[in-house]
Amino acid sequence: MTLNNQLETAVKNTVEQLFSVRLENVEITLTRKDQNGDLTVMVFPMLRHIKGNPAVIGEQIGAELAKTDLITSYEVIKGFLNITVAHEVYLKDFNDILSQSDYGKSPVDKTKSGVMVEYSSPNTNKPLHLGHVRNNLLGYSVAQIVEATGRKVNKTQIINDRGIHICKSMLAWEQYGNGETPESTGLKGDKLVGNYYVKFDQEYKKEIADLIAAGKTEEEAKKEAPSLIAAQEMLRKWEQGDEAVVALWKKMNGWVYDGFETTYKNLGVNFDSLYYESNTYLLGKDVVQIGLDKGVFEKDPDGSVWIDLTDEGLDRKIVLRSDGTAVYMTQDIGTAIQRVKDHDINSMVYTVGNEQDYHFKVLFLILKKLGYDWAENLYHLSYGMVELPSGKMKSREGTVVDADELMEEMTDTAREIAQEQGKLEGMSDADKGDLYKMIGLGALKYFMLKVDPKKSMMFDPKESVDFQGNTGPFIQYTHARIKSILKKSGFEQGDLKVATDLALTDKDAAVIKLLQQYPETIEAAARNYSPALVANYVYELVKEFNSFYQNVPKIVEESNTNMKQFRLALCFKTAAVIKSACGLLGIEVPEQM
């Protein structure tokens, strides 16, 4: 039983004894740093069940708790009961933490229905960029965190491999490519195809300018430009199954898939299942008739089908055009239903930017109205845009921050800073190269994930690769430092158990307190779909450990055998939790740095 659970049980029993009331929950938080104590019991919420002055009630509860072995002292400040936990309790709890090899995580319960987490979902007309990086890191980390709570997770993406934007790249390659391939150019396939997307836009703009010069309005010119008309014709042929167009589509998409796979591997993310829009874009049309039969949808005189959500504060939304073709909403309805058929899941998380907030409100509401029970368990992991100090990105103009180039830049930046600080003396060039990549990617991932997903963010590569402050390299360096301490001491894991009669310093207890919070941090991060909670937790743990290390006697030279064993065990478990937490963020930590 964790310390918080022990205290909660003790408070419940005390309240029942004093006031003949059995509380369902007891709110317990860490005591504010400007006050005495370790943990604070919130008395104010109890006033719903107990009448009286909160300070007096807190005093009565504190006096009873002081009779137990759980606490050594207490202090009541208004409606807050601050208690100081007995060292023996901390040490017993620490022994329990030491006994758990995968501390903080729950084993996957295969009897429970799983969760599907969707992320990435790129278009196959350009390489992945900075926005995709945040998307992938968020989705992958959320999947790791949810799985750590014991749920089965299926990581998926829907690849947007059809549509006019795909045809634009295809058409430009046909007209200007001279048969070049990834092999002949040495370019990754997604970059080659992306170049032709940019080329299409350049030629399209020239045509618009020529038409305007010839007397057309801008609106007329945009519609009548030969390139756009040709791309629309190519899309029509693809939808009709034209052999030549489909063959070109398969070839160029194949190049892009290979390029994406390389980027995903370098970024350290993966998927358990894949969906392709070319296979799903007709899904949902059959559901429209079901919705009409149930009265969920309504048909307009022109034959189009809508849903009226004005009573819910939204608007009317089309689900089928008058010509019988589907819209994106129709596809998403059908795809959600198909995924539940394909996999043992009853929950889905969609990692998609906040510009789609309205779309997902409507989607989830439609699925609920259609009667799908699992629609209650759908979540839009909405996130803000990523900007650079240099400004916003534009795909069509080729001014995006390429994901591969960003990762290379992060590695180069890590190399420069590490060499300036002389932190890697004595390592081989090969080991240094691997470490630069680990530091660079760790910096990128941590900087992206420490920010609440809902917030937009400014990403500064140089700032992220700092060996001090709230950064990935600072956390990685602390892990390596602890490993060095353990190596110098000759510490062997063995049967980890420490004496429970030691006199701890405040610094010893502070590290244990943070270790105790790891399981509930994972639970909270999974509940809120927020890797930021794990990222900022591990930073606090690292800060507290460094303060501990600077303020206690040199651990390796400690003369008290039991105290030395305890502090080495504390180092060992802190390193294990740092590695575990970083793993949930997709970040590797080095043994040496």
Residue type, 184: S
490 contact partners, CB below 8 Å, separation of at least 6: none
Distance between CA 499 and CA 565 in Å, rounded? 9
Which listed CATH number (3.40.50.150, 3.30.70.260, 3.40.710.10, 3.30.1360.70) goes with 3-85? 3.30.1360.70
Expressed in angstroms, the distance from the first to the final Cα of the chain is 36
Q: Pick from 245, 112, 97: which is nearest to 566 by CA?
A: 97
Contact call for residues 151 and 227 (beta carbons, < 8 A): no
Instruction: Name residue, tokens 């295969």.
Output: 110
List the structure tokens of 382.
């909405």
Number of H helices, E strands in the chain: 22, 14
Residue type, 419: Q
Q: What is the pTM of this model?
A: 0.91
Alpha-carbon distances of 169 from 205, 253, 428, rounded to whole Å? 15, 10, 44
Q: Pick from 239, 232, 229, 219: which is nearest to 282 by CA?
A: 239
What per-residue confidence (pLDDT) applies to 141?
98
Alpha-carbon distances of 118 from 63, 156, 363, rounded to whole Å? 52, 5, 15
What per-residue confidence (pLDDT) applies to 422?
67
63-66: long-range contacts (C-beta < 8 A, 24 or more apart)? 64/14, 64/17, 64/18, 65/10, 65/11, 65/14
What per-residue confidence (pLDDT) applies to 592?
86
What per-residue confidence (pLDDT) applies to 393?
41
Alpha-carbon distances of 391 from 442, 451, 461, rounded to whole Å? 24, 19, 14
Contact call for residues 453 and 530 (beta carbons, < 8 A): yes
Distance between CA 420 and CA 416 in Å, rounded? 6
Give the architecture (CATH level 2) of 441-584.
Orthogonal Bundle (1.10)
Could you tell me where in the chain the CATH 1.10.730.10 domains are found?
441-584
Distance between CA 235 and CA 253 in Å, rounded? 15
Alpha-carbon distances of 383 from 118, 337, 380, 387, rounded to whole Å? 13, 24, 9, 13
Name the pairing type of β-strands 114-118 and 273-276.
unpaired
Residues of the chain whose pLDDT is less than 50? 392-398
Strand partners, 305: 299, 320
